[in-house]
């Protein structure tokens, strides 16, 4: 099985570290990006299969751009105040899921579900 890599872009450094801790047993490498530019550069550099994006740092149009530029990458968006309308908007822009920022279990589940589905389609 190919090792999976993740890029995490979160506004709150503590949330980013918690995510890193939760994801480290399931993914080969986790890059904590400090800006959208760093995240964009890290995706091809580390061959990321998953990007976890804080919606306080990226817009709907940036999510759509990321989906277009990196079509095989799972985009999991996070927000402190996620709701159904926001979920619909982000999934429409190309995100795989939208989770509460502090819900590491839901973020992990979304990332693994999407990467497993991609593997099944590729096989």
What is the pTM (predicted TM-score) of this model? 0.88
What's the confidence (pLDDT) of residue 95? 94
Mean pLDDT of 88-111: 91
Judged by DSSP in three states, 111 sits in helix
pLDDT of residue 4: 86
- In angstroms, rounded to a whole number, what is the distance separating the alpha carbons of residues 101 and 20? 12
> What are the residue ranges spanned by the domains of the chain?
5-122
Average pLDDT of the residues of the chain: 88
pLDDT at 5: 94
Name the CATH code of domain 5-122 (choices 3.40.50.300, 2.102.10.10, 3.40.50.2300, 3.20.20.70). 3.40.50.2300
Helix (H, G, I), strand (E, B) or coil at 57: coil
């Amino acid at each position: 099985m190919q090792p999976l890599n993740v890029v995490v872009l979160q506004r709150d450094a503590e949330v980013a570290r918690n995510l890193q801790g939760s994801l480290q047993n399931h993914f080969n490498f986790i890059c904590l990006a400090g800006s959208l530019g760093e995240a964009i550069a890290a995706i091809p550099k580390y061959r990321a299969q998953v990007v976890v994006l804080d919606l306080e740092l990226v817009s709907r149009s940036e999510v759509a751009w990321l989906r277009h530029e990196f079509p095989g990458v799972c985009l999991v968006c996070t927000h402190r105040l996620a709701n159904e309308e926001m979920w619909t908007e982000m999934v429409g822009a190309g995100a795989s899921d939208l989770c509460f920022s502090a819900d590491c279990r839901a973020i992990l589940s979304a990332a693994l579900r999407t990467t497993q589905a991609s593997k099944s389609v590729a096989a």
